[in-house]
Amino acid sequence: MENQIFDKLKSVKLLVMDVDGTLTDGKVYYSKDGEELKAFCIRDGMGIELLHNYGIGTCIITTETSQIVTARASKLRIDHVILGSKNKLKDLEELCNELNITLEEVAYIGDDINDISAIEKVGFSACPSDAIKYVREKVDYICSNKGGNGAVREFIELLLISQGKEIVFQIK
């Protein structure tokens, strides 16, 4: 089983991530003034930096149109950000065409029903341990960590190890 996982991940050129429930714990906090807040895992962010060090592309696709997501994506230097997606697979196919890569060269991590169409078509898929049952039944890999609590980092480390890359941070 481990060899199958490693073989599928060897050709990945782009990591696509959902936000709510994947990069966050899926909770939304509101201040008394109605300001929306979300918590992101710093370790996931360091994992994304590791991907950048090795030239692996990063993308966020979310149904949300939140400035919080835009700010986090900017801070992490996410290569491609697709907000307000009504059809994640269609948006991902368009991005792959732009980048001249195939869906087989994409790894995807998501947690809910709006991620399933993309999960079923990419080269390798994963979900946080607390993803909904229907997603857990479809993915290639279920992380031991929950969304917003290191699931993305865990997936990134698996991807890097499978490609023979060291998990070492280098300032560029």
Q: Is the predicted pLDDT of residue 75 greater than 90, yes or no?
A: yes
Please give the single-letter amino acid code of residue 84: G
Where in the chain are the domains? Answer: 2-162
CA-CA-CA-CA dihedral for 172, 80, 38, 131, to nearest 10 = -110
Is the pLDDT confidence value at 1 over 60?
A: no
Asked if 12 and 135 count as a contact pair (C-beta separation under 8 A), the reply is no
Cα 55 to Cα 49: distance, rounded to the nearest angstrom = 10
The pTM is what?
0.94
**Domain 2-162, CATH:** 3.40.50.1000
pLDDT for residue 81 is more than 60 = yes
If DSSP states are collapsed to H, E and C, what string results for 5-49? Answer: HHHHHCCCCEEEECCCCCCECCCCEECCCCCEECCECHHHHHHHH
- Contact criterion met (CB below 8 Å) for 169 and 46: yes
Model confidence over 24-72: pLDDT tens digits? 999 999 989 988 899 999 999 999 999 999 999 999 999 999 899 999 9
pLDDT of residue 8: 84
